Amino acid sequence: MGDAKNVKELKYSHVEKVIKYKGHPNYAKKGVLVVAKRTKIPLEVKEYAKMSNVIITRMSTKRRKKKKGFWDW
């Protein structure tokens, strides 16, 4: 189970949300939390996620150009 966040700083509540998701019966044993590259992750939150079996991954959040439709040429 996973979640994506685009916030300035990652907090305990974000990690707890993923923990709650994976706590349901017959769901995944591990959790994934995807954050923007510029997101600050405090050491305490990182350790809490690690102890709770939640992986924190950074990804880029570049804006993409809007695709032109057939009539927009």
Could you tell me the pTM of the whole model? 0.74
Q: What is the pLDDT along the chain (73 residues), one digit of tens a residue?
A: 788 888 999 999 999 999 888 877 777 788 899 999 999 999 999 999 999 999 999 988 766 666 677 666 5
Summarize pLDDT for 46-60 with one digit per residue, the tens.
999 999 999 999 988
Starting at the edge strand found earlier in the chain, the sheet holding 54-59 runs 2-5, 31-36, 54-59
Closest CA to 59 of 35, 33, 41, 40: 35
Cβ atoms < 10 Å from Cβ of 33 = 22
Whole-angstrom distance, CA of residue 66 vs CA of residue 33? 27
Helix (H) or strand (E) holding 5: strand 2-5
* Residue spans per domain, the chain: 2-60
